[in-house]
Structure 1
Amino acid sequence: MSEAWTTPVRLYELARGPVRARLEPDEAERAAVAKTLGLKRLPKLVADVTVRPWLDGAEITGRFDAVVEYVCSVSLEPFEAPVSGEIAVQVVPAGSALAQPEDAAGEAELDPDAPDPPDVLEGEAIDLAAYVVEHLALELDPFPRKPGAEFEFTPPAPEESPFAVLKKLKDDKS
């Protein structure tokens, strides 16, 4: 998702057991993530992630906590809000029997009641930072509202119809 912040874990590293990582992007990386997600700023992002072997791929679980700076959709003022969430994803290498089959048109058939199919890796590495950013994006409010911000709408004065103006001119002459 973001080339500016990557944290790769190779599948072969899981042969020794689960890999645990604490991810904390620096200021430049947070700025790049904020730009990617359309945020004003991203003052804090911390994620604790565990990658375990799962069938012929891996399972990524963890949690992230962030502080994001939104722009209020009502007042257009910036404000900070905490955002947190869980991460739970399975990934498999390309060519895996567990990869979502595609039909002849190249489209995958989805069952809304079934669990999500595993993601298919493009290479031999899992980018943990990309999964953290993806899950952060899913937790963002698409229409953020600063606490206490109220939308006050005053309808415009109705325009007079041309006929009402003509009637007024006629009445003035009488």
Structure 2
Amino acid sequence: MAERLIDPWPSTVTLARVDRGGVDLKLAPDETVLKAIAKQLGLVSLHELKADVYLRSWMDGAEVSGVLRARVVQTCGVTSEDFETPIDARFSLRVLPADSEHAPQDEGGELGLDPDGDDPPDVLEGETIDVSGYVIEHLALELDPFPRKPGAVFVQPPEPVELSPFAALKGLKTKGDEG
């Protein structure tokens, strides 16, 4: 049976706690934390962030999955106007302790990763999972790096006129000078 609770922000969970039967969390940072996250992610503002996170035992680590919902305000790269975007995303990852025999090994710089396969598990620094850190990381992955307000259309500026120093001299030439 999973332990259900509303966790404070920032939220961390130990592997031992997950191993005792899984943990279900509801995370919702307060206004001060929302402002700090918005600044960290380069947003104009972050009006809402809620996450339901589920931690289950996996090998000698944990599987972390969840749903995050947010309302972010970004600046349009075309019109320079601020606009709000809703985000509703699912995420899933696996974590292992550093001393795990299952942790990915870096062998001569080659991890032997399959680009089409699942992501390798994250290796924890200790025995604690930074749940709120993973929520922020996955929110960042959902942000459009080139935000565009709905309906905004980029218009190509006109080609610049000839700017050589001789172009200015052509304008000074008079008809009497020709010859």
- TM-score bracket, normalised by the shorter chain, equals 0.7 to 0.9
**Does residue 103 of the first structure (1) align with residue 117 of the second (2)?**
no
1:155 CA displacement: 1.2
1:52 CA displacement: 0.5
Asked if the contact 1:9–1:128 (Cα under 8 Å) also holds between the matched residues in 2, the reply is: yes
Mapping for residues 113-128 of structure 1, pairs under 5 Å: 113-128=116-131
Partner of residue 89, structure 2:
85
Partner of residue 137, structure 2:
134
1:49 CA displacement: 0.6
Q: Which runs of 5+ in 1 are unaligned?
A: none
Two-structure CA RMSD over aligned residues (Å): 1.9
Partner of residue 35, structure 1:
39
Opposite residue 71 of structure 2, the aligned amino acid is V
**CA deviation map 1:29-81 (0-9, x unaligned):** 11111111111101000000110001100001110010000011111111101
**CA deviation map 1:106-134 (0-9, x unaligned):** x5332212211110010111011011111
Distance in 2 separating the partners of 1:14 and 1:170: 84
Distance in 1 separating the partners of 2:89 and 2:102: 26
Residues 34, 168 of structure 1: CA spacing in aligned structure 2 closer, same or farther, 3 A cutoff?
closer
Distance in 2 separating the partners of 1:166 and 1:32: 56
Distance in 2 separating the partners of 1:69 and 1:98: 40
1:165 CA displacement: 5.0
Q: Which runs of 5+ in 2 are unaligned?
A: 1-8
Partner of residue 54, structure 1:
58
Q: What secondary structure sits across from 1:104 in the alignment?
A: coil
| Count of matched residue pairs | 169
**Does residue 63 of the first structure (1) align with residue 42 of the second (2)?**
no
Distance in 2 separating the partners of 1:110 and 1:131: 22
Runs of at least 4 residues off by over 3 Å: 160-171
1:158 CA displacement: 1.0
Residues 167, 100 of structure 1: CA spacing in aligned structure 2 closer, same or farther, 3 A cutoff?
same
In the superposition, the TM-score normalised over structure 2's length comes to: 0.85
Asked if the contact 1:98–1:118 (Cα under 8 Å) also holds between the matched residues in 2, the reply is: no
User: Matched residues, percent identical?
Assistant: 51
In the superposition, the TM-score normalised over structure 1's length comes to: 0.88
